[in-house]
């Protein structure tokens, strides 16, 4: 008798710290037959898995992909067709620059059941743990998320929109393109003195935050040899960190 198909749970693992998982995420991880996880999933998160669960790494790092996206999609379909309860575990939130939409479209096409559990996205985690509120009534009345990395390796963003005043700009995967980002935002109207921060490993014990301006942050990042995973926050709210930093030792 053919095994009835299983289900794929698309789960956000948050920014890294295990305690930031949702209760639902923790429950699904603890009961899963198979966990397909990304590079940015904190090590403590996987400790919640059953001892007999299949834990399959499919992480992507700059210049090195364990599997391409089509292969990951096919792996999820195969596991579910084997009748397994599968957790597809992604850092942050799977619907914010996590390719979650691409993966569940593949599941829909294959007729596989799925559900989605949101996670604390990197922007929220980095903001909270660095003491930089993303919005403030007198400083930033809007907040924009963008990605600094495209599938073709370019960084071609809507610079006029990102350079609008009175907003906070958060750029995921932007450290490598920081010199371009800085130059373009200045060229499109933001002051070179606009505060900016680069936050690496947000919420984890080795979190590191570099503060600067649009003009000098690229050189500070280069000098400090700050590498991904890191997130950029640009805007006047960065000035608030001096009084609001509660987590990171400076």
| Residues designated catalytic | 38, 60
Omega of the bond prior to 16 within 30 degrees of 0, cis? no
Percent helix, strand and coil across the chain, each to the nearest 5: 30, 25, 45
Distance of CA 95 to the CA centre of its chain: 10
Structure tokens belonging to residue 92? 């942050």
- Phi, psi at 4, each rounded to 5°: -65, 145
Describe the crossing of helices 217-224 and 178-187 by its angle, rounded to 10 degrees. 170
**Residue 202: strand, helix, or coil:** coil
- Within the chain, residue ranges assigned H as helices are 23-31, 43-46, 69-81, 100-110, 122-130, 159-162, 178-187, 217-224, 241-244
């Amino acid at each position: 008798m053919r095994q009835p198909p299983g289900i794929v749970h698309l789960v956000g693992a948050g920014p890294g710290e295990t305690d930031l998982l949702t209760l639902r995420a923790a429950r699904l991880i603890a009961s899963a037959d198979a966990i397909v996880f990304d590079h940015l999933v904190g090590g403590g998160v996987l400790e919640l898995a059953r001892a007999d669960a299949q834990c399959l790494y499919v992480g992507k790092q700059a210049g090195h992909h364990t599997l391409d996206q089509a292969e990951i999609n096919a792996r999820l379909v195969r596991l579910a067709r084997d009748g397994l309860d599968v957790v597809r575990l992604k850092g942050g939130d799977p619907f914010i620059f996590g390719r979650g939409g691409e993966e569940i479209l593949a599941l829909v096409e294959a007729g596989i059941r799925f559900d989605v559990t949101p996670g604390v996205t990197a922007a929220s985690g980095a903001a909270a743990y660095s003491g930089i509120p993303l919005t403030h009534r007198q400083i930033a009345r809007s907040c924009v998320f963008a990605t600094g990395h495209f599938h073709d390796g370019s960084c071609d963003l809507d610079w006029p929109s990102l350079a609008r005043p009175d907003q906070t700009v958060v750029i995921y995967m932007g450290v490598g393109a920081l010199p371009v980002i800085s130059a373009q935002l200045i060229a499109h109207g933001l002051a070179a003195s606009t505060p900016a921060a680069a936050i690496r490993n947000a919420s984890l014990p080795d979190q590191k935050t570099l503060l600067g301006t649009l003009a000098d942050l690229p050189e500070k990042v280069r000098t400090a040899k700050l590498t991904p995973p890191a997130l950029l926050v640009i805007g006047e709210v960065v000035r608030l960190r001096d009084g609001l930093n509660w987590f990171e030792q400076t």
